[in-house]
Chains A and B, each alone.
Chain A
Amino acid sequence: MGWTGKILRIDLTNRTVKSEPLNKDWAQKYLGQRGLATKYLVEEVDAKVDPLGPDNKMIFATGPLTGTAASTGGRYSVITKGPLTNAIACSNSGGYWGAELKFAGWDMVILEGKASSPVYITIFDDKAEIRDGGEIWGTSVWHTDEWIKKRHQDPMIHVSGIGIAGEKQVLYSAIVNDLHRAAGRSGVGAVLGSKNVKAIAVRGTGGTKVRDGKAFLAATAAGKKVLQANGVTGAGLPTYGTQVLMNVINEAGAMPTRNSRDVQFEGAHDISAEAMATPRKTDGKPNLLTNQACFGCTIACGRISKIDETHFTIKNKPEYWKASGGLEYEAAWALGSNTGVKDLEALTYVNFICNEQGLDPISFGATVSAAMELYELGVLTKEMTGGLELNFGSAEALVKCVELTGKGEGFGKELGLGSARLTAKHGRPELSMASKGQEFPAYDGRGIQGIGLAYATSNRGGCHLRGYTISSEIFGIPEKTDPLSTVGKPGLVKAFQDATAAVDSSGLCVFTTFAWTLTDIAPQVDAAVDGGWTPEKMLEMGERIWNMERQFNNRAGFTAKDDSLPPRFLKEAAKTGPAKGLVSGLETMLPEYYALRGWTKDGVPTNETISRLGL
């Protein structure tokens, strides 16, 4: 009930597939998706393993609410050791693939070893097969999706896989499902590529059941009303998408611009949600066509866009004249504000390519902006870039970069290393805006102090979703805190990190937390599965998961010095806006954070904390 109770274990080296019962004790302590898959990973994989070697494992995991009528009940996560960071990688995606895996009868799929030649995997109800992928290796995500559906004569198959970038092991390549939803960060695409797996195609004709149907329908109906009434989930997100944030964060003076040299972008309005909805001067049509939902989602924040057919990026390429996934805030920021490019159609095209070939637009955009700074300083020259003039603000350069990186060709191979390795290679490691090697997303830690601490302490490297304190610091959800102050932020960051780990383990989308707290979520989980799930039990589980991830990273070799931010955030003050004159107060916040976490001064969970959490 809730869970299917079965996991699929695939040994790619020996080409065997095996059904296993789900470990019910672990399910009681870790619920599903992020928590449960991480438990399997830390038990089965040595933390010092080479992420791109055959001994790394990858887990595609659903939560108990995936494939149910709970609002947003469609998520799945990909858990592995990340090649970008060498830390735990835990990447969350929506679309329809996760629900389909549940309908096929599986809670999760574990990939082990490495196939001797390119393969793709089909999971049709209880029958899983490893098949020859020779015909689709070397092609894009979009082509692969179409090919598989045609080959198996089933338009209702859902595909999750990589494009050329993952095959070429671009260190921030992504896994894309349903054409434009992605498990985006930490290079999970490269891990799939390193195993010679192109895609996993799923079709399920079964259904999900829940423990107490009446209670479940009541709890989920109540949850839906809350989402509908809330200003963010009921109006802002469906109308504007995550792009609702572009103008807001810019005005807050926390918009990393030109490799974080500035905290406000003069072109923000040109690449905002409002701009996406405004009819273009060229053809009178807006960039945005409509919004779209993931499986079970009553928020529907997804964007569907169509690029102007006369725009330089696609004017001779009719294959891009169709509608596809439009700009999220993170993509618009990374590809636009951070590189200085304010051409909305160009950004949309670059975003299309990121989906088509499976690239994380955050890390890609941030790497390009680091490269642009290197170019401006003369550290990178035209000879070294293969003729690319990597000037801040150049849409042409950005476009060429994504085309090369998507295929892992030319200078794209260099960009594919990520900003940490690229800048280090040229003797300027301080110019990578990253933590643990993963590039920061669209919020500046000088303008929003709590998120700076969250970036530094995130278990998967620079990430806003591990602990989205922006909810509190900018939006007042659940309570307003001062973004410019460090006071109380360690406690705030810990609270968001723990609660989010719980949500990420349920099958629900973290965006519900603009409106829901664990008080809204626990009844839905409790009605679906056994175990007496209260908000307290979920929060404690979240803390347990956070510490388990931390222990894995410690075994992998991470120490307190890796809970850091680049010198730019610690020493170069914000130049404009509300945060003018401020640097990140990380050094004030970190010791208090360790203490609240029950860790030593070196960031190691104490024995008392470990036994309290049952680790």
Chain B
Amino acid sequence: MLKALVIDPAKCTGCKQCEMACSYENEMEFNVSKSRIRVFDFHEEGKMVPYTCTQCAEAWCQQACPVNAITTDMASGVKIVNENVCVGCKVCTIACPFGTINYNASTGKVIKCDLCQGSPACADACPTAAITYQDIEQTGFDKMKQWAAIAGQGEATGAKAPVAKH
């Protein structure tokens, strides 16, 4: 089953454990500047929102890359940067409309979320389940459920169907 990160901003407290988990997983140090996932503080509205690459099916970064350094992992659908091929031209960072692929000055290559080979560190680290890793075809499940609960309130219309006698 393909999976994707699901973000519930209402649960995010801005603790940055996701940023630290991501940077530690990739760089062996706690360095939020190198995190592939970032938390944004909309402090005037009192909202915190994590954001990262959404693994586009038709990815701008992949199509823009002049040396075909970005490939699709067939098993997971994840777009992966091949550091041996990447030349650091940064055209992908211009092409991506979401800003989720960025240049790493320490390596001269670009970095993006690669879902940690199927065990995303950010989802593991998040203390409030603001980031979860779920069935890619059911990412709306929790939200649908909340609205289903509202629809399911109140009296049933019409009589209940009688139990068939056999």
Q: Chain A residues in contact with chain B, CB under 8 A?
A: 67-69, 71, 96, 99, 103, 156, 179, 204-210, 213, 217, 224, 228, 238, 289-298, 300, 302, 304-306, 322-324
Contacts and interface: CB of A to CB of B under 8 A. Distances in A.
Contacts of B125: 69
Given A103-B33, A209-B28, A296-B15, 8 more contacts: A69-B17, A69-B125, A99-B16, A207-B29, A209-B30, A224-B127, A292-B46, A292-B48
B32 to A, nearest CB: 7
Interface in B32-73: 32-34, 43-48
A292 B13 contact: yes
A235 to B, nearest CB: 12
- Between A228, A304, A324, the greatest number of chain B beta carbons within 10 A of the residue's beta carbon is seen for A304
Contact of A228 (B10, B16, B127): B127
B103 interface: no
B29 A208 contact: yes
Interface stretch (B19-27, B81-89, B134-142, B147-155): B19-27
The contact size tier of chain B is 20 to 34
Contact of A323 (B10, B16, B46, B128): B46
Nearest to B44: A322
Interface of B: 10, 13-17, 20-21, 23-24, 27-34, 43-48, 125, 127-128
A432 to B, nearest CB: 36
A207 B28 CA distance: 9
A293 B15 contact: yes
A298 B29 contact: no
B107 to A, nearest CB: 13
Contacts of A323: 43-46
Contact of A304 (B29, B30, B46, B128): B46
A296 B20 contact: yes
Contacts of A205: 31, 33
A300 B34 contact: no
A295 B44 contact: no
B9 to A, nearest CB: 10
B127 A69 contact: no
Contact of B31 (A96, A103, A217, A300): A103
B40 to A, nearest CB: 9
Contacts of B31: 103, 205-208
B128 A69 contact: no
A43 to B, nearest CB: 30
The 3 closest A-B pairs by CB, nearest first: A207-B31, A207-B29, A323-B46
Nearest to A213: B28
B128 A300 contact: yes
